[in-house]
């Protein structure tokens, strides 16, 4: 190690001070057990039968849990007897008009795929809101150059014709980090950014800068907002988190405000009695069936469950939901934040969504319903087959009575909580078309300034995800993808290094591999899907620089392209290799190849 | 051979081998030993303790999966630090797509400035914020985790000289930002 100069020593000292007050509470053993339980090691011959090996204990666990559930139900019945279930007074205040689609429109048919649409990846869009008077979604598209926002565009989406329209107001908000909510009473969409409040009048196509955000106590270091609309008062309700003192994980209690756009005033809502506090934060929605604000609070410490609470906006009283709150998890199996939460008018339920699909809360019956799969027995939303890739539940469409959100490839999908059916409102595009047989796929056109990275559909738990060669073409992956979530993996990253430097790889015949039909019995074992989002020439050159040294490899021809192939032989995994202008990756279950994709690099 | 210097490596290797074989207690030892430092590295990259903890959880998850492929168990610590730094970068990207509204107020509990020749914390935070995530990762690995350029290079797919060159540029930038030039 070379000797440091004075500045480097000062920098080191400053960094040590900079990180001195970090969190310390952590149960390493509990975490290790959680990880080991979710991803048990496989040994020897068992590794080749991993999907069977997992299935047996899962069945046993399910039976055990069912037995426990049955016992609990019997015990509960004995204890509670004929006590009536808790029902809140059913109040159905007006939530504003919702148009019906004009005759001749086909809201269930995808809009024209070649139409103009927000040009950028879905996650750069702000939250969407539904303008009930116009019958259109309002969305802001933040334009990034690298990591910097260089522009904002206002778009609307017609849910009857499934078409985007680029709006052209004289001015548009400029700051990022925003939440949108439609104010029925004032017929404007309210935007709260990190600094300002704006109002958008869709009819006039004008943005108006209203004022500043609520005067939040700045002794709190980090606050996150969630917005809802209260149709009884006609005011917007904002929930923020104020840091609560106490040992262990940082917890925040909700600070609630109303916003009156007519007078541009924020007013704190007084809370009566004990209030909840969460480790991460909260998402809120107004539940018209119960006239309550539903607050979905997220915790993050190991094994801490999320909590749903109900807030009475008229009395200021909090009450905790009695039903076990589902944990909406990210693809590592931990509670995801922030939650996506909307109220479903038609079913009179509040729906939350994570990477694992939606779950609906019936406030009047105090009951959660898992909409995209089933309860895994641990109060968590189970990924059922059918969640479109990268889908985010952005808003509720009262015209057609369904949840609407964006997904991979700038597509738009709707989910009907009543029928549990997905509808493609707009096909995605700008994604990799995986090859069939030995046909090369088309890679995504890279955008200048983008970091090279792979989009990966990763397993959310040990069960992995299902995958086929034809599943990532911007279509709803309704029958092809199971558990999992989207993640990013930069080319040449440390994540890939273990694969690039791993011993134990052996030759494989790519032609044979690609031509091998998928073994459907293995689709629950492991799979992963990539789309190429742009490849940096320097990284590509590094990948091409023979990182394997003298380790054996094979050359094969696929679709007229020469590729070099390696195969993972120890445990489940995938290989990635690049040759000439072809990127290749492949999945194995430990002993044999399951599937692979070859994509032409730009 | 100096057995006293060999013993810790043997212990580490043994723990890693056990964890790689599925021993959750051994993995817990690794987590307990390295997680705090991983969180700190991830914090320098992400600038947010919550994100840093998320990134570290993801990194430890990766560690569990990849331990069997770790060729040199004595390199466990630098490997974990590099994975934590990389996951912090990944979490930052995901954070953007998940559209969190974070209203952050810069509060410097240590005071407006540091005495003597110490670098002020607010100045350091701002200077780090103006670096890209990749450069923050380099700073964290070099000046917090105290890995040398060769180690960083081997873990990030760069040459040692490439790391030194990049670090030199980052240091020049920080010197200007922190008024040391």
Tens digits of per-residue pLDDT, A530-588?
323 333 444 434 433 333 322 233 444 444 444 444 332 222 333 444 444 444 444 33
Report CA-CA distances (Å) from B162 to A213, A543, B152, B153: 45, 16, 10, 8
Q: How far A204 CA lies from chain B's nearest CA (Å)?
A: 27
Which DSSP category does A125 fall into? B
Q: Which of B25, B23, B13 is nearest to B71 (CA)?
A: B13
Contact B83 A494 (CB under 8 A): yes
Q: Which of A95, A152, A100 is nearest to A126 (CA)?
A: A152
- A335: Cβ–Cβ under 8 A, 6 or more apart, which residues? A280, A298, A299, A300, A304, A306, A327, A328, A329
Portion 476-505 of A in contact with B at CB < 8 A: 487-490, 492-495, 497-498, 500-504
Mean pLDDT over A409-434 rounds to 72
Contact B86 A493 (CB under 8 A): yes
**Which residues in chain B are closer than 8 Å to A1, comparing Cβ atoms?**
146, 148
Task: Measure CB to CB from residue B99 to each of A35, A126, A213 and give the nearest one.
Answer: A126
Which DSSP category does A337 fall into? S
Contact A13 B118 (CB under 8 A): yes
Of A476 and B122, more confident: B122
Chain B contact for A44, CB < 8 A? Answer: no
Reported confidence tier of residue A492, pLDDT bands at 50, 70, 90: very low
Q: Are A373 and A347 in contact (CB under 8 A)?
A: no
Burial environment of residue A478 by CB neighbours within 10 A (0 to 12, 13 to 18, 19 or more): middle
Reported confidence tier of residue B172, pLDDT bands at 50, 70, 90: confident
Mean pLDDT over the full length of chain A: 62
Contact B119 A13 (CB under 8 A): yes
What is the SS3 assignment for A342-407? EEECCCCEEEEEECCEEEEEECCCCEEEECCCCECCCCEECCCCCCCCCCCCCEEECCCCEEEEEE
Task: Measure CB to CB from residue A8 to each of B49, B128, B143 and give the nearest one.
Answer: B143
Query: pLDDT tens digits for A509-525?
Result: 222 332 233 332 322 22
**pLDDT of the residue at A384:** 34
- A483: Cβ–Cβ under 8 A, 6 or more apart, which residues? A356, A382, A383, A459, A460, A461, A463, A464, A465
Q: Which two tokens stand for residue B153?
A: 């290079």
**Which residues in chain B are closer than 8 Å to A542, comparing Cβ atoms?**
157
% of chain A at pLDDT higher than 90 = 18
Q: Which of A35, A492, A491, A7 is nearest to B157 (CA)?
A: A492
List the single residue in B with minimal CA-CA distance to A123: B97
Residue A86: Cβ within 10 Å count: 14
Reported confidence tier of residue B148, pLDDT bands at 50, 70, 90: confident
Mean pLDDT over A412-433 rounds to 74
Q: Are B102 and B123 in contact (CB under 8 A)?
A: no
Q: Which of A336, A246, A339 is nearest to A296 (CA)?
A: A339
List the single residue in A with minimal CA-CA distance to B128: A15
Portion 333-362 of A in contact with B at CB < 8 A: 334, 337-338
* A91-127 burial code (b ≥16 CB/10 A, e <16): eeeebbebeebeeeeebeebbeeeeebbebbbbbbbb
Residue A437 has pLDDT above 70, yes or no: no
Chain B contact for A194, CB < 8 A? Answer: yes
Three-state DSSP class for A69? helix
Q: How far B7 CA lies from chain A's nearest CA (Å)?
A: 23
Three-state DSSP class for A283? strand
Residue A157 has pLDDT above 80, yes or no: yes
A122-126 long-range contacts, CB within 8 A, separation 24+: A122/A390, A122/A392, A122/A406, A122/A407, A122/A408, A122/A410, A122/B97, A123/A390, A123/A392, A123/B96, A123/B97, A123/B98, A123/B99, A124/B96, A124/B97, A125/A394, A125/A406, A125/B99, A126/A176, A126/A178, A126/A179, A126/A180, A126/A191, A126/B99
Q: How far B98 CA lies from chain A's nearest CA (Å)?
A: 6
Of A36 and A264, more confident: A264
**pLDDT of the residue at A324:** 81
Which DSSP category does A191 fall into? E
Contact A218 B107 (CB under 8 A): yes
Contact B24 A127 (CB under 8 A): no
Query: Cα(A291)–Cα(A314) distance, rounded to whole angstroms?
Result: 9
Mean pLDDT over A25-37 rounds to 80
Q: Give all strands (DSSP E) within A440-512, no chain letters.
A: 441-442, 453-458, 485-490
Task: Measure CB to CB from residue B22 to each of A36, A126, A542 and give the nearest one.
Answer: A36
**pLDDT of the residue at A523:** 25
Q: How far B66 CA lies from chain A's nearest CA (Å)?
A: 7
Entry field: residues in chain A = 602
Task: Measure CB to CB from residue B100 to each of A338, A492, A493 and give the nearest one.
Answer: A338
Q: How far A283 CA lies from chain B's nearest CA (Å)?
A: 11
Sheet with A136-145, edge to edge strand ranges: A129-131, A136-145, A148-158, A163-166
Distance of alpha carbon A160 from the chain centroid: 26
Residue A104 has pLDDT above 60, yes or no: yes
Contact B144 A571 (CB under 8 A): no
Which pTM value belongs to this model? 0.51
Three-state DSSP class for A488? strand
**pLDDT of the residue at A318:** 94
Q: Which two tokens stand for residue A280?
A: 């991460």
**Which residues in chain B are closer than 8 Å to A123, comparing Cβ atoms?**
96-99
**pLDDT of the residue at A176:** 62
Query: Cα(A320)–Cα(A334) distance, rounded to whole angstroms?
Result: 22
List the single residue in A with minimal CA-CA distance to B118: A10
Residue A77 has pLDDT above 60, yes or no: no
**pLDDT of the residue at A7:** 84
The most confident of A213-217, A370-374, A397-401, by mean pLDDT: A397-401
Q: How far B19 CA lies from chain A's nearest CA (Å)?
A: 10
Residue A420 has pLDDT above 60, yes or no: yes
Token match 């009819």: residue?
Answer: A203
**pLDDT of the residue at A168:** 94
Contact A26 B35 (CB under 8 A): yes
Mean pLDDT over B83-102 rounds to 62
Contact B35 A225 (CB under 8 A): no
Portion 8-27 of A in contact with B at CB < 8 A: 8, 10-19, 22-24, 26
Cβ–Cβ pairs < 8 A, chains A and B: 210
Q: How far B157 CA lies from chain A's nearest CA (Å)?
A: 7
**pLDDT of the residue at A207:** 95
Of B56 and A24, more confident: B56
Partnered with residue A181 across adjacent β-strands are A190
**pLDDT of the residue at A100:** 80
Contact B28 A338 (CB under 8 A): no
Which one of B157, B159, B167 would you mutate to disrupt binding with A, by most A Cβ within 10 Å of its Cβ? B157
Residue B38 has pLDDT above 90, yes or no: yes
List the single residue in B with minimal CA-CA distance to A127: B99
Q: How far A300 CA lies from chain B's nearest CA (Å)?
A: 9
Portion 210-229 of A in contact with B at CB < 8 A: 213, 216, 218-225
**Which residues in chain B are closer than 8 Å to A500, comparing Cβ atoms?**
157
End-to-end CA distance of chain B: 46
User: Which of these ranges, A75-89, A244-258, A381-395, B10-24, has the smallest mean pLDDT?
Assistant: A75-89
Of B176 and A264, more confident: A264
**Which residues in chain A are closer than 8 Å to B44, comparing Cβ atoms?**
15, 18-19
Q: Are A205 and A257 in contact (CB under 8 A)?
A: no
**Which residues in chain A are closer than 8 Å to B99, comparing Cβ atoms?**
123, 125-127, 177-178, 338
Of A175 and A471, more confident: A175
Report CA-CA distances (Å) from A454 to A535, A601, B33: 9, 12, 31
Query: Cα(A108)–Cα(A370) distance, rounded to whole angstroms?
Result: 24
* DSSP annotation string for A209-274: EEEE-----TTSSEEE-EEEEETTTTEEEEEEEEEE--SSS-EEEEEEEEEETTTTEEEEPP-BS-
Reported confidence tier of residue A201, pLDDT bands at 50, 70, 90: very high
The most confident of A213-227, A564-578, B110-124, by mean pLDDT: A213-227
Which one of B33, B78, B99 would you mutate to disrupt binding with A, by most A Cβ within 10 Å of its Cβ? B99
Query: Cα(A567)–Cα(A574) distance, rounded to whole angstroms?
Result: 8
User: Which of these ranges, A128-142, A285-299, B121-135, has the smallest mean pLDDT?
Assistant: B121-135
Reported confidence tier of residue A71, pLDDT bands at 50, 70, 90: low
Query: Cα(A490)–Cα(B132) distance, rounded to whole angstroms?
Result: 15
Residue A151 has pLDDT above 80, yes or no: no
% of chain A at pLDDT higher than 70 = 47
List the single residue in A with minimal CA-CA distance to B159: A542
**Which residues in chain B are closer than 8 Å to A15, comparing Cβ atoms?**
44, 124, 139-140, 143-144
**pLDDT of the residue at A303:** 61
**pLDDT of the residue at A512:** 30
Q: Are A363 and A350 in contact (CB under 8 A)?
A: yes
Residue A432 has pLDDT above 90, yes or no: no
Three-state DSSP class for A200? strand
Of A147 and B85, more confident: B85
Portion 579-598 of A in contact with B at CB < 8 A: none
**pLDDT of the residue at A354:** 59
Q: Which of A512, A577, A587, A505 is nearest to A546 (CA)?
A: A577
**pLDDT of the residue at A198:** 93
Burial environment of residue A38 by CB neighbours within 10 A (0 to 12, 13 to 18, 19 or more): middle
- A186: Cβ–Cβ under 8 A, 6 or more apart, which residues? A199, A234, A261, A262
Residue B2: Cβ within 10 Å count: 6
Residue A83: Cβ within 10 Å count: 9
Q: Which two tokens stand for residue A521?
A: 């019995």
% of chain B at pLDDT higher than 70 = 76
**pLDDT of the residue at A558:** 41
Residue B143 has pLDDT above 50, yes or no: yes
Query: Cα(A516)–Cα(A519) distance, rounded to whole angstroms?
Result: 9
Task: Measure CB to CB from residue A488 to each of B90, B133, B174 and give the nearest one.
Answer: B90
Which DSSP category does A81 fall into? T
Burial environment of residue A447 by CB neighbours within 10 A (0 to 12, 13 to 18, 19 or more): middle
List the single residue in B with minimal CA-CA distance to A502: B69
Which DSSP category does A587 fall into? E
Of B30 and A467, more confident: B30
* A512-549 burial code (b ≥16 CB/10 A, e <16): ebbeeeeeeebbbbbbbbbbbbbbbeebbebbeeebee
Task: Measure CB to CB from residue B118 to each of A14, A147, A332 and give the nearest one.
Answer: A14
Burial environment of residue B71 by CB neighbours within 10 A (0 to 12, 13 to 18, 19 or more): exposed
Q: Which two tokens stand for residue A418?
A: 């009543």
Task: Measure CB to CB from residue B119 to each of A2, A11, A497 and give the nearest one.
Answer: A11
**pLDDT of the residue at A175:** 67
Residue A84 has pLDDT above 70, yes or no: no
**Which residues in chain B are closer than 8 Å to A546, comparing Cβ atoms?**
none
């Amino acid at each position: 190690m070379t000797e440091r100069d004075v500045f480097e020593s000062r920098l080191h000292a400053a960094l040590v001070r900079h990180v001195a007050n970090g969190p310390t509470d952590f149960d390493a053993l509990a975490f290790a057990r959680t990880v080991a339980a979710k991803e048990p090691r496989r040994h020897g011959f068992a590794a080749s039968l991993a999907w069977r090996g997992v299935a047996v204990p899962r069945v046993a666990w399910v039976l055990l849990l069912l037995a426990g559930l049955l016992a609990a139900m019997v015990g509960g019945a004995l204890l509670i007897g004929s006590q009536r279930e808790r029902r809140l007074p059913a109040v159905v205040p007006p939530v504003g008009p919702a148009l019906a689609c004009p005759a001749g429109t086909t809201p269930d048919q995808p809009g024209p795929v070649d139409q103009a649409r927000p040009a950028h990846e879905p996650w750069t869009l702000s939250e969407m809101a539904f303008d009930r008077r116009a019958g259109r979604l309002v969305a802001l598209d933040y334009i990034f150059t690298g990591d910097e926002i260089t522009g904002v565009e206002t778009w609307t989406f017609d849910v009857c014709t499934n078409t985007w329209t680029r709006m052209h107001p004289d001015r548009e908000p400029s700051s990022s980090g925003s939440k949108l909510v439609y104010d029925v009473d004032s017929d404007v969409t309210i935007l709260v950014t990190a600094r300002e409040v704006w109002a958008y009048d869709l009819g006039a196509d004008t943005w108006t800068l209203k004022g500043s955000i609520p005067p939040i106590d700045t002794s709190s270091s980090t606050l996150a907002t969630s917005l809802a609309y209260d149709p009884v008062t006609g005011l917007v309700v904002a929930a923020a988190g104020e840091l609560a003192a106490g040992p262990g994980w940082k917890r925040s209690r909700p600070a609630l405000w109303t916003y009156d756009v007519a007078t541009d005033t924020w007013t704190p809502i007084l809370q009566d009695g004990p209030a909840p506090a969460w480790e991460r934060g909260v998402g809120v929605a107004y539940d018209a069936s119960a006239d309550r604000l539903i607050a979905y609070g997220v915790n993050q410490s190991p094994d801490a469950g999320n909590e749903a609470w109900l807030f009475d906006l008229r009395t200021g009283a909090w009450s905790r939901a009695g039903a076990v709150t589902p944990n909406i998890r990210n693809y590592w199996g931990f509670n995801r934040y922030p939650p996506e939460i909307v109220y479903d008018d038609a079913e009179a339920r509040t729906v939350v969504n994570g990477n694992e699909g939606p779950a609906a809360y019936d406030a009047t019956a105090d009951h959660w319903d898992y909409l995209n799969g089933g309860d895994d027995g641990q109060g968590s939303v189970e990924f059922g087959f059918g969640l479109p890739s990268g889908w985010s539940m952005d808003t509720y469409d009262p015209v057609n009575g369904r949840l609407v959100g964006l997904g991979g490839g700038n597509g738009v999908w709707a989910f009907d909580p009543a029928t549990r059916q997905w509808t493609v409102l707009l096909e995605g595009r700008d994604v990799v078309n995986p090859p069939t047989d030995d046909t090369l796929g088309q890679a995504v056109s890279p955008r200048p300034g983008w970091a090279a990275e792979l989009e990966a559909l990763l397993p959310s738990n040990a069960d992995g995800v299902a995958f086929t060669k034809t599943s990532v073409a911007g279509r709803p992956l309704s029958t092809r993808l199971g558990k999992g979530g989207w993640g990013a993996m930069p080319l040449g990253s440390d994540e890939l290094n273990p694969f690039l430097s791993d011993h134990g790889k052996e030759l494989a015949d790519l032609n044979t591999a690609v031509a091998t039909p998928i073994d459907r019995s293995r689709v629950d074992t492991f799979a992963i899907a990539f789309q190429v989002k742009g490849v940096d020439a320097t990284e590509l050159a590094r990948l091409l620089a023979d990182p394997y040294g003298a380790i054996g490899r094979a050359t094969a021809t696929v679709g007229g392209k020469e590729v070099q192939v390696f195969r993972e032989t120890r445990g489940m995994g995938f290989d990635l290799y690049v040759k000439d202008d072809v990127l290749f990756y492949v999945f194995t279950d430990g002993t044999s190849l399951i599937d692979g994709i070859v994509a032409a690099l730009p | 051979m100096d057995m006293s210097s060999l013993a810790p490596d043997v212990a580490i290797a043994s723990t890693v081998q056990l964890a790689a074989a599925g021993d959750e207690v051994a993995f817990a030892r690794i987590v307990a030993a390295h997680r705090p430092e991983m969180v700190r590295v991830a914090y320098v990259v992400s600038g947010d303790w919550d994100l840093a903890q998320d990134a570290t959880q993801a990194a430890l998850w990766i560690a569990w999966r990849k331990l069997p492929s770790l060729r040199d168990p004595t390199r466990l610590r630098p490997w974990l630090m590099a994975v934590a730094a990389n996951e912090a970068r990944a979490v930052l990207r995901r954070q953007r797509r998940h559209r969190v509204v974070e209203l952050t107020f810069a509060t410097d509990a240590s005071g407006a400035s540091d005495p003597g020749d110490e670098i002020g914390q607010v100045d350091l935070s701002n200077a780090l914020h103006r670096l890209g995530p990749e450069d923050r990762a380099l700073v964290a690995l070099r000046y917090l985790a105290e890995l040398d350029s060769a180690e960083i290079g081997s873990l990030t797919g760069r040459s040692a000289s490439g790391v030194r060159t990049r670090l030199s540029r980052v240091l020049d930038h920080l010197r200007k930002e922190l008024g040391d030039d």
